[in-house]
Amino acid sequence: MRTTIKNGQIIDPSQSLNTQTDLHIEDDKIVAIGQAPDNFTADHEVDATNLWVLPGLVDLSVALREPGYTQKGTIASESFAAAAGGVTTLVCPPDTSPIIDTPSVAALIQDKALEAGRTNVLPIGALTKSLAGEQLSNMVALTEAGCIALSNHRQPMANTKVLFRALEYAATHDILVVFHPDETSLSVGGCVHEGMMSTMHGLAGIPETAETIALARDLILVQKTGVKAHFARLSCAKSVEMIADAKAQGMDVTADVALHNLLLTDDVLGSFDGHYHVIPPLRSEEDRLTLIEGLKSGIITAICSDHQPHEKMAKTAPFAATEPGMANVEALLPLSMLLVDEGDIPLPTLLHSLTKGPASCLGIDAGTLKVGSYADIILFDSTKKWTWSEQSKQTKGSNSPWLYNPMAEMPAGDLAGKVVATYLAGRQVFPLH
Amino acid sequence: MMRSEPRALQLNDQGQLKHFLTLDGLNKAILTEILDRADSFLNMGEQSVKKVPLLRGKTVVNLFFENSTRTRTTFELAAKRLSADVINLNIETSATSKGESLLDTLQNLEAMQSDMFIVRHSESGAPHFIAEHCTPNVAIINAGDGRHSHPTQAMLDMLTIRRHKGQFEGLKVAIVGDLLHSRVARSQLHALKTLGAEEIRLIGPKTLVPEFFAQMGARIFYDLEKGLNDVDVIIMLRLQKERMQGALLPSESEFYRLYGLTESSLSWAKEDAIVMHPGPINRGVEIASEVADGKHSVILNQVTNGIAVRMAILSITMSGQLQNKMTDSSGGQH
């Protein structure tokens, strides 16, 4: 099967490419950009005039909720939502039920993802059994079963010694460890950033130190053990400085940030709307701006949706009693484009942070349109206005402040820019014909 | 990016109260109207017939998810003096402990044609949630939510200050003790700022007085003598015994020695300073008995004023809610 995507604006930061031309696909690979190869005759042509042709997005955190929490989402529903959002490779966290701490759970998720056929799914395995922070998981077996990395997710380790041993063992086998820095004795009970807004509204705060103290400890242990490390969902200005210092000392660590921490601050909390309950919390404007600077300077290499779908009732409660998390994967690109529209981040940096950047954190070959790569491609109409609504959405989650809800305090308006087609290894996975 | 001003959830289109959730965002005219009406009710308590018919035929439900006999009783008296039918529900020991959700409980009560819920809840923002998502056509009165707000208590404190000091302009007011956990203090801070007090001082150790209060327009003092110097009003806050467990304080005795109001520390304030306390007081923990019962104390006046202020708030809010419903139903024609 040969396909030519004709006349699109091809933008690929991995090749510093931004040009209007054709892209040629044979079976599952990209075979040429511009001139077609000799003897190449397309079976199928796609007119991409006025559309952007981009590498498929790589999202470092999309909770699929299956197995265990299918009232919130399923592998089928959330991988479809991801494809609709232009994501062709996603990483799913180990906090399913059962937890991804055995090869069979990792295999089950990948089998169901293959069956759904919407997007590549790379599970993260648990660093310790049951994420309890006490006994090491079967790390090698988990990676052999397809886990791209291991993490104790947001659960604390029993003590620093167990963490140290876990990192030593992972380092022995060259396994990537994903950290969610959080000193739980400081964050316990908190639901928002500790600052003026938390004080004024009487909501229990999570201080910056909960993140930075854990990050300092983790960095020391990473340096000591030499383990491959990725720091997930940084939320504080100070954390960006600490990662910059570590890199300056020659440490080869990577970091990501959740999209909502780039778009929002804690000044949305005045309405007590549980949709803004996320962990780590929305922090101050200074934190937001420093995270943006961190992306621009390459200290932070990836933006992820941190997609956490919930059923309606999970958010129907007083603020602190709601379950944390937003479900934004389906609107990842148009929402990210707000950062370009506001002049916060240049377009190539933004696209890199959604494609090659996250791929390089994982050490995988994705997020690029280079000739010879898998044809994971999206077509994006950057000017199309559309409404993301209960009726049109694919995710089972209803928990995004940008999902149109006429009853909301401030109904979200139209989004600008829409993914009009997603190809996974040359096969169109969104929309389906 | 997405910067939302908290919508005036508690006001109708004409800017009148339809719920009473927080003092944050209410202007001086509304606060003054409440105080003026409370003043007019205060004289009534002395008459033999104590009732007025402002809420006749209305059903008021006291919904207390957190126990408080004292506050509930003053609300009950206030509603009854306005001629309302009053139901008391102690939800702590009823439906929600059987697993019924807050939403279901409230919608059941709304279906029974209730007109007003007086809500006390341990979660900050719970009354906002109820007003917005559960029962928008029932007037919600916040009787204390988490650490966030206790607006009727703050208004009765404002009434007490105004009746003793005449006005707010030029007043220096000190609030002493556990600011961190105090919903009363947060509401007082909003009210004092809006009504024009000259200076609001918060006094206590750093563990109980978050620095962020300074960004809300207060001055923070860690030393009681400096903080009380030259103040007109002293508001002592109750110190919960469980604060010792959270490593916030070493002991009651050390707190009392450093921040307790005694006859000698009272002498640092102005000679005609008044002493207030939202109650119930811990004698010998935050305040000495001689001061609580002394000539500067207006603690019992606060209790009397509480009924009048709540009558004022209940009647003003109910009329704003009715106004709102009339506008809604006429607006629904097209």
CB contact under 8 A, B102 and A201: no
What is the count of residue pairs from A and B with beta carbons less than 8 Å apart?
91
Q: Cα separation of A373 and A30, whole Å?
A: 6
Average pLDDT value for residue range B78-93: 88
What is the per-residue pLDDT for B1? 41
Q: Cα separation of B25 and A143, whole Å?
A: 55
Assigned fold of A56-362 = TIM Barrel (3.20.20)
A375 to chain B, closest Cα gap in Å? 34
pLDDT of A16 higher than 70? yes
pLDDT of B332 higher than 50? no
Nearest CA in chain A to B209: A199
Q: Say if CB A164 and CB A147 are below 8 A apart.
A: no
The per-residue pLDDT for range A213-243, each reduced to its tens digit, is 999 999 999 999 999 999 999 999 999 999 9
Q: How many CB atoms lie within 10 A of CB A213?
A: 16
CB contact under 8 A, B216 and A201: no
pLDDT of B330 higher than 70? no
Q: How many CB atoms lie within 10 A of CB A158?
A: 12
Cα separation values, B127 from A147, A203, B74, Å: 45, 14, 19
Cα separation values, B166 from A139, A223, B33, B169, Å: 73, 66, 15, 9
Burial class (CB in 10 A: 0-12, 13-18, 19+), A244: middle
CB contact under 8 A, B102 and A318: yes
The packing angle between helices A332-341 and A347-354, to 10°, is 150
Percentage of residues in chain B having pLDDT higher than 90: 73
Nearest Cα to Cα of residue B201 among B213, B183, B191, B212: B213
Residue A194: list chain B partners with CB under 8 A.
Answer: 212
The per-residue pLDDT for range A28-62, each reduced to its tens digit, is 999 999 999 999 999 999 999 999 999 999 999 99
pLDDT of B3 higher than 50? no
Cα separation values, B1 from A259, A268, B80, Å: 12, 11, 48
Q: Cα separation of A353 and A223, whole Å?
A: 25
Q: Cα separation of B211 and B223, whole Å?
A: 15
Q: Which are the contacts of A142, defined by CB distance < 8 A and separation ≥ 6? A: A100, A101, A102, A103, A106, A125, A126, A150
Average pLDDT value for residue range A202-221: 98
Tell me the pLDDT band of A309, cut-offs 50, 70 and 90: very high
What is the per-residue pLDDT for B104? 81
pLDDT of A131 higher than 50? yes
Out of A306, A344, A376, A381, the active site residue is: A306
The per-residue pLDDT for range A263-275, each reduced to its tens digit, is 999 999 988 999 9
One DSSP character per residue, B237-289 reads: PP--GGGGTTTS-S-HHHHHHHH-B-HHHHTTS-TT-EEE--S---BTTTB-H
Q: Say if CB B57 and CB B115 are below 8 A apart.
A: no
Tell me the pLDDT band of B324, cut-offs 50, 70 and 90: confident
Taken in order A112, A256, A273, B182, is the CA torsion positive or negative?
positive
The per-residue pLDDT for range A107-130, each reduced to its tens digit, is 999 999 999 999 999 999 999 999
**Regarding beta strands A87-92 and A120-126, do their DSSP bridges make them parallel or antiparallel, or are they unpaired?**
parallel
Cα separation values, B189 from A118, A200, B315, Å: 54, 10, 24
Q: How many CB atoms lie within 10 A of CB A18?
A: 14
Q: Cα separation of A171 and B235, whole Å?
A: 59
Q: Cα separation of A403 and A328, whole Å?
A: 9
Spell out the domains of chain B, with CATH numbers in brackets. Answer: 28-149+304-323 (3.40.50.1370), 151-298 (3.40.50.1370)
The per-residue pLDDT for range A343-379, each reduced to its tens digit, is 999 999 999 999 999 999 999 999 999 999 999 999 9
Average pLDDT value for residue range A381-387: 93
Q: How many CA atoms lie within 13 A of A430 on its CB side?
A: 28
The label of the residue with tokens 């035929």 reads B57
Residue B128: list chain A partners with CB under 8 A.
Answer: 271-272, 318
Q: Which of B121, B148, B216 lies nearest to residue A196, judging by beta carbons?
A: B216
Best interface-test mutation with B: which of A194, A201, A206 has the largest number of B CBs within 10 A? A201
Residue A409: list chain B partners with CB under 8 A.
Answer: 4, 7, 9, 132
A269 to chain B, closest Cα gap in Å? 8
A186 to chain B, closest Cα gap in Å? 12
Domain regions of chain A by residue span: 56-362
Residue A196: list chain B partners with CB under 8 A.
Answer: 212, 215-216
Q: Which of A204, A272, A316 lies nearest to residue B128, judging by beta carbons?
A: A272
Average pLDDT value for residue range A320-334: 97
In b/e form, how buried is each residue of B166-184, taking b as 16+ CB within 10 angstroms?
eebeebbbbbbbbbbbbbb
Q: Say if CB A63 and CB A307 are below 8 A apart.
A: yes
CB contact under 8 A, B128 and A264: no
Nearest Cα to Cα of residue A10 among A55, A58, A56, A57: A55
State the ipTM, two decimals.
0.90
Q: How many CA atoms lie within 13 A of B117 on its CB side?
A: 32
CB contact under 8 A, A338 and B1: yes
Q: Cα separation of B323 and A89, whole Å?
A: 55
Nearest CA in chain B to A185: B246
Q: Which of B2, B103, B148 lies nearest to residue A201, judging by beta carbons?
A: B148
Interface of A with B (CB under 8 A): 194-196, 198-204, 263-264, 267-268, 270-272, 274, 313, 316-321, 338, 342, 401, 409-410
> Where are the alpha helices (H) located in chain B, listed in sequence order?
28-44, 69-81, 102-111, 126-129, 151-165, 183-195, 224-228, 252-259, 263-266, 289-292, 299-331
Nearest CA in chain B to A343: B1
Q: Cα separation of A407 and A401, whole Å?
A: 12
Q: Cα separation of A227 and B208, whole Å?
A: 41
What is the per-residue pLDDT for A217? 98
B148 to chain A, closest Cα gap in Å? 4
The per-residue pLDDT for range B111-152, each reduced to its tens digit, is 888 999 999 999 999 999 999 877 778 999 999 999 999 999
CB contact under 8 A, B1 and A342: yes
Burial class (CB in 10 A: 0-12, 13-18, 19+), B35: buried
CA dihedral of B204, B205, B209, B210, whole degrees rounded to 10: 160
Q: Cα separation of A221 and A127, whole Å?
A: 15
Q: Which of B1, B101, B146 lies nearest to residue A263, judging by beta carbons?
A: B1
Q: Cα separation of A371 and A250, whole Å?
A: 32
Q: How many CB atoms lie within 10 A of CB B151?
A: 32
Nearest CA in chain A to B1: A263
CB contact under 8 A, A409 and B7: yes
Taken in order A193, A195, A197, A200, is the CA torsion positive or negative?
positive
CB contact under 8 A, A195 and B133: no
Helical (H) or strand (E) element with A163: helix A160-172
A102 to chain B, closest Cα gap in Å? 34
What is the per-residue pLDDT for A411? 59
Cα separation values, B202 from A138, A237, B187, B221, B268, Å: 55, 29, 13, 6, 15
Instruction: Give the residues across from A17 on adjacent strands.
Output: A12
CB contact under 8 A, A200 and B216: yes
CB contact under 8 A, A264 and B129: no
Cα separation values, A396 from A113, A306, A378, Å: 16, 15, 23
Q: Cα separation of B324 and B288, whole Å?
A: 48
Enter the tokens of residue A131: 């994420």
A63 to chain B, closest Cα gap in Å? 25
Average pLDDT value for residue range B205-213: 96
Would you call A27 a catalytic residue per the annotation?
no
A399 to chain B, closest Cα gap in Å? 15
| Average pLDDT of chain B to the nearest whole number | 90
Q: Which are the contacts of A210, defined by CB distance < 8 A and separation ≥ 6? A: A182, A183, A184, A186, A187, A190
Q: How many CB atoms lie within 10 A of CB B96?
A: 14
What is the per-residue pLDDT for B96? 52
Q: Cα separation of A44 and A47, whole Å?
A: 10
Nearest CA in chain B to A341: B1
CB contact under 8 A, A263 and B148: no
CB contact under 8 A, A319 and B2: no
Residue B6: list chain A partners with CB under 8 A.
Answer: 270-271
- Range scoring the smallest mean pLDDT among A259-273, B86-100, B163-177: B86-100
Enter the tokens of residue B130: 């109820």
Residue A321: list chain B partners with CB under 8 A.
Answer: 123
pLDDT of B100 higher than 80? no
Q: pTM here?
A: 0.94
What is the per-residue pLDDT for B6? 47
| Average pLDDT of chain A to the nearest whole number | 96
Tell me the pLDDT band of A408, cut-offs 50, 70 and 90: low
Q: Cα separation of A269 and B66, whole Å?
A: 24
Nearest CA in chain B to A402: B2
Coil, strand or helix at A240: helix
Best interface-test mutation with B: which of A203, A267, A268, A272 has the largest number of B CBs within 10 A? A272
Enter the tokens of residue A140: 């090698």
Q: Say if CB B219 and CB B202 are below 8 A apart.
A: yes
Q: Is A286 left (phi over 0), alpha (psi -120 to 50) or beta?
A: alpha
Enter the tokens of residue B122: 């341990």
The per-residue pLDDT for range B183-203, each reduced to its tens digit, is 999 999 999 999 999 999 999
CB contact under 8 A, A270 and B124: no
Residue A198: list chain B partners with CB under 8 A.
Answer: 212
The per-residue pLDDT for range A337-349, each reduced to its tens digit, is 999 999 999 999 9
Q: Say if CB A253 and CB A243 are below 8 A apart.
A: yes
Cis peptide before A67 (omega within 30 of 0): yes
Q: Say if CB B273 and CB B279 are below 8 A apart.
A: no
